[in-house]
Amino acid sequence: MEQNRSQNTMRLFIAINFDNKTKQNMLAVQRRLREWGMGNFSRPENLHLTLAFLGEVAADRVAVVRRAMDGVSISPMELTFDHVGCFKRDGGDLWWIGIHESKALAALQSDLARRLTDESFRLESRRFSPHITLAREVCLQDQPDRAALLGSPFMAGADCISLMRSERIQGKLVYTEQYTAAADTAKR
């Protein structure tokens, strides 16, 4: 029974993915962080901004998620990455790059979350804090200067959202895009 359930569900989240130039800027920050200690550093292809984590979703509910995504008003926006931070964790901290407050991003995430909860998806109740995870389980020799870690703030455009599948393949965490809703296809 357990095996059938796992074959009929997928671990899903909705995210904004970034172009290679933006990922290169993120990786430069990650390289500076590596100089301060050890951790489980995100692979370049896994760098993304999570808008909604859905968890295990039955295959027959994926169409409902896609419909919710299509219903969201998506306008092209510029995101500014302007700070680095960490969430304290037992066993090592989670380090991230943060995004300057964006009303367009907050509105997009709020609309998406509302549509998903209206469809009976259970989302995290904590306040949306837009960030890109650089590394988990980080143990540093000393506390770095966060402004120096960031270097210069940088910007990235965003005009679509993606439904992503998360799975472990040969011991590696792999995210695979399942569906995309873009500004020109979103229903207004």
| Pair 69, 163: CB distance under 8 Å | yes
Asked if 48 is an active-site residue, the reply is yes
6 lies in a domain? yes
pLDDT of residue 1: 36
- Cα separation, 47 vs 132, whole angstroms: 6
**Active-site residue (options: 33, 48, 81, 112):** 48
**Active-site residue (options: 30, 54, 116, 131):** 131
pLDDT of residue 184: 60
Stretches where the chain sits below pLDDT 50 are 1-5, 185-188
139-180 confidence digits (pLDDT tens): 988 888 999 999 999 999 999 999 999 999 998 999 999 999
59 lies in a domain? yes
Q: What percent of the chain has pLDDT over 90?
A: 83
188 lies in a domain? no
187 lies in a domain? no
Asked if 83 is an active-site residue, the reply is no
**Which domain range does residue 23 map to?**
2-182
- Cα separation, 39 vs 32, whole angstroms: 13
pLDDT of residue 72: 95
In the chain, how many domains are there?
A: 1
Domain with residue 101: its CATH number is 3.90.1140.10
